[in-house]
Structure 1
Amino acid sequence: MEDEYGDMSSSGETFTFPGTFTLEDGSTLESPSLCYNTYGTLNESRDNVLLVTHALTGNSDLASWWGNMLGPGKTFDTDKYFIVCANILGSCYGSTSPASIDPATSLPYGGSFPDVSVRDTIALQFALLSDLNVSSIKSVIGGSFGGMQVLEAMFASTRELSVRSAVPIACGSSHTAWQIAISEVQRQAIYADPSWNGGDCLDVRDSKGLNVARQMGMVTYRTARAYDLKFGREKVGEGPAYGKDAKWQVKSYLEYQGDKFLSRFDPITYVKLTEQMDTHDVGRGRGGIAKALLSLEMPSLVIGIDSDVLYPLHEQESLFSALGSVEKKFVSVRSEAGHDGFLLEQETVGKAIDEFLERIE
């Protein structure tokens, strides 16, 4: 199967928040940092800005996952826009995370890293944008975990830093019991690994728990049909027709994906980021989901993947219907890829975003 990401790294610039950053739950981080990348040039009005937000295991290097949409004349047109892509707070790609040093102990945070919400991530990204002298954001665009950040950015819009439009992709208005359950069984796989050690496992690169968690995730990101079309009941090499020694091609693929993931992620970061996704609920503290979404009036494009098992299409349809925007559009992308369609169907997704951005001042 085609990988959803290219080479992943922590390359980019670093923004450091000046002083104490207070999280939604009241806990604090001292001078947390965000890794970010920019593309294009900020105009004199400081308002030609696109904020692009990434998914669970993504990074701030937009070219490594939506690269076909980035460049002159493309969706993320570097001749027209100033594109900012910032890493998630708590991620292992250059931002303050469980691997960072806790100033209070001079040791890595590890399992003591605080609980971060999607709102916290957006608050820190907005501090970055202010530091970059941005006055207004033409659009915030992102899929999956990135889509959750898009929705929170809509609520974070202010007169000083306004969000003029938004494109949430492949997500709903809250993390549902189904999505929390899928994340929880992945976390339970990590907890069951003897190397977990209460979360103090940053140096473990052979975590069987994280390996299995990634394999679970890879199943939910695609569809039954996609797996059948790619692998069927094919084997790798010689071996029995069935049983514990059967060399199923799909088994080999999942093991490869699990092993590869260990080179770029650690168990505690995976736990903390999936927990951050579970905080997603636009209605929390805002009078419920319906009231909250009705208050969002900026132009919006909601995109869903018709084969998505993890974030089913009906969630995007409900989100679209509940938005208070007068100018809004819904696009269902046809794909066999399932949830990963938001990363893989770049031509279709890009065209929908292009047409939407052309109508936004």
Structure 2
Amino acid sequence: MTFEPQSLTLPDPLPLDGGGMLADARIAYETYGELAPDRSNAILLCHALTGDQYVASTHPLTGKPGWWERMVGPGLPIDTDRYHVICANVIGSCLGSSGPASIAPDGAPYAMRFPVITIRDMVRGLVGLLDALGIERLHAVVGGSMGGMQALSLAANWPERAQRVLVIASTSRHSAQNIAFHELGRQAIMADPNWRQGEYYGSDTPDNGLAVARMAAHITYLSEDGLTAKFGRNLQDRPEKSFGFDADFQVESYLRYQGSGFTRRFDANSYLYITRAMDYFDLAEEHGGSLAQAFAGNPARFCLVSFDSDWLYPTAESRHIVHALNAAGAPVSFVELSAPFGHDSFLLDVPALDRVVKGFVE
């Protein structure tokens, strides 16, 4: 991975939930649109597990469009003619922010010496970035999936920092099933002979394990109806079954493609760290066991969005957050949208989501 992202080093050590500090934490970020003279038009976008800061610009490693280009840009629902959009790579990741692949003070990559982090630690890094940029209060914070967890954490722990909080296809805590799928992926990585206890930098990387982890996770992002409509039981480039273990079915070929492509842009150790942070996320636990208490006295406006085909973070998870916000007296709106794509619906062409996002941020 050879590229030089826009970044800054936080002036103060970053305190971590697991104890200790992360000194010289680096935050890589991208911005879009002009910041108003009074700094009142900033929107922070928080990315999902395997996302990055390239929300509306070409990815420097893959050459692919930004992950939310359909939503962010001039005249789009998050209009960069009106708003100054900031998207940062979370700590623990591998697109320029401090993570396991970063160089430690002794000159070697941190690898598994990098401290285990939480969603709240990620948000501490984002708040540090906002402080460095001189932005005291956001017009809005927006996030889907893990990005929604970050938006909730910002609202609960730094309630004065955002006027609006938009949470899409997310949850206030990881379920046992969520944790189980992540553990499957972690075990696939750690079982790869090239993982070598995380000390693989400068040599062969655990691509096979990381690809399997990505394949398993990707299944959870989709819906059965979506898979059936796209692939069914159609064979891949052959008139009949091979009676072997090549990719006979189109869906098998698709998953293998997703897995192999992922290894070219992501670090296996980062996958371990970020999935662990998501598994540790439990906003109620952080606030005395009460999710309502997490939002007590919060001055922000909230909007929660779920999708009817999302079985990873189903609508019940969003309703749980909405009930807590109601109990806390916080102004909140909620909508369940119909879409066939499963959890990934927030990234795909769902015009109803465009209207919700535009209406709420304005």
Same fold (TM over 0.5): yes
Q: Which moved more, 1:65-74 or 1:219-228?
A: 65-74
Q: Structure 1 CA distance, aligned partners of 2:176 and 2:227?
A: 25
- Displacement of 1:115 after TM fit? 0.5
The 5 A counterparts of 1:34-73 are 34-63=27-56, 64-73=66-75
Corresponding letter in the other structure for 2:283:
V
Q: What percentage of aligned pairs have identical amino acids?
A: 36
Match status 1:316 vs 2:318 = yes
Q: Structure 1 CA distance, aligned partners of 2:72 and 2:286?
A: 36
Match of 1:211 in 2: 211
Q: 1:260 to 1:134 in 2, by over 3 A?
A: same
- Displacement of 1:93 after TM fit? 0.7
- Displacement of 1:294 after TM fit? 4.5
How large is the RMSD of aligned CA atoms in angstroms?
Answer: 1.9
Q: 1:158 to 1:144 in 2, by over 3 A?
A: closer
- Displacement of 1:156 after TM fit? 3.1
Match of 2:349 in 1: 345
Corresponding letter in the other structure for 2:15:
T
Corresponding letter in the other structure for 2:355:
K
Q: Structure 2 CA distance, aligned partners of 1:32 and 1:121?
A: 11
- CA deviations on 1:114-163 (whole Å, 9 max, x unpaired) are 1111111111111111111112111110000100000011023255xx21
Corresponding letter in the other structure for 1:237:
D
Match status 1:234 vs 2:238 = no
Q: Structure 1 CA distance, aligned partners of 2:192 and 2:251?
A: 23
Corresponding letter in the other structure for 2:303:
L
Q: Structure 2 CA distance, aligned partners of 1:28 and 1:109?
A: 14
Secondary structure at the counterpart of residue 99 of structure 2: coil
- CA deviations on 1:277-333 (whole Å, 9 max, x unpaired) are 112111223111333344145210001111001111110111112113542111112
Q: Which moved more, 1:106-115 or 1:287-296?
A: 287-296
The 5 A counterparts of 1:235-254 are 235-238=235-238, 240-241=240-241, 243-245=243-245, 247-254=248-255
Work out whether residues 45 and 135 of structure 1, in 8 Å CA contact, stay in contact via their aligned partners in 2.
no
Work out whether residues 90 and 272 of structure 1, in 8 Å CA contact, stay in contact via their aligned partners in 2.
yes
- CA deviations on 1:158-198 (whole Å, 9 max, x unpaired) are 55xx2111011111111111111110111111111111211
Q: Structure 2 CA distance, aligned partners of 1:9 and 1:340?
A: 29
- Displacement of 1:340 after TM fit? 0.3
Match of 1:3 in 2: none
Q: Structure 1 CA distance, aligned partners of 2:282 and 2:358?
A: 28
Q: 1:136 to 1:217 in 2, by over 3 A?
A: same
Match of 2:112 in 1: 111
Work out whether residues 37 and 85 of structure 1, in 8 Å CA contact, stay in contact via their aligned partners in 2.
yes
Work out whether residues 43 and 140 of structure 2, in 8 Å CA contact, stay in contact via their aligned partners in 1.
yes
- Displacement of 1:12 after TM fit? 4.3
Corresponding letter in the other structure for 1:327:
P
Match of 2:61 in 1: none
- Displacement of 1:19 after TM fit? 3.8
Match of 1:174 in 2: 173
Which structure 2 segments of 5+ residues have no match?
A: 57-65
The 5 A counterparts of 1:212-291 are 212-238=212-238, 240-241=240-241, 243-245=243-245, 247-291=248-292
Q: Structure 1 CA distance, aligned partners of 2:244 and 2:300?
A: 55
Work out whether residues 204 and 266 of structure 1, in 8 Å CA contact, stay in contact via their aligned partners in 2.
no
Q: Which moved more, 1:341-350 or 1:305-314?
A: 341-350
- CA deviations on 1:326-355 (whole Å, 9 max, x unpaired) are 421111121110000011135322210111
Q: TM-score if structure 1 supplies the norm length?
A: 0.91
Work out whether residues 287 and 294 of structure 2, in 8 Å CA contact, stay in contact via their aligned partners in 1.
no
Q: Structure 1 CA distance, aligned partners of 2:14 and 2:26?
A: 10
Work out whether residues 307 and 335 of structure 1, in 8 Å CA contact, stay in contact via their aligned partners in 2.
yes
Match of 1:16 in 2: 9
Work out whether residues 223 and 337 of structure 1, in 8 Å CA contact, stay in contact via their aligned partners in 2.
yes
Q: TM-score if structure 2 supplies the norm length?
A: 0.91
- Displacement of 1:78 after TM fit? 1.4
Match status 1:305 vs 2:307 = yes
- Displacement of 1:56 after TM fit? 0.6
Q: Structure 2 CA distance, aligned partners of 1:158 and 1:336?
A: 34
Which structure 1 segments of 5+ residues have no match?
A: 1-7
Q: Structure 1 CA distance, aligned partners of 2:15 and 2:294?
A: 25
Q: Which moved more, 1:226-235 or 1:289-298?
A: 289-298
Q: Structure 2 CA distance, aligned partners of 1:22 and 1:44?
A: 31
Q: 1:198 to 1:255 in 2, by over 3 A?
A: same
Work out whether residues 194 and 205 of structure 2, in 8 Å CA contact, stay in contact via their aligned partners in 1.
no
Q: Structure 2 CA distance, aligned partners of 1:241 and 1:150?
A: 47
Corresponding letter in the other structure for 1:148:
M
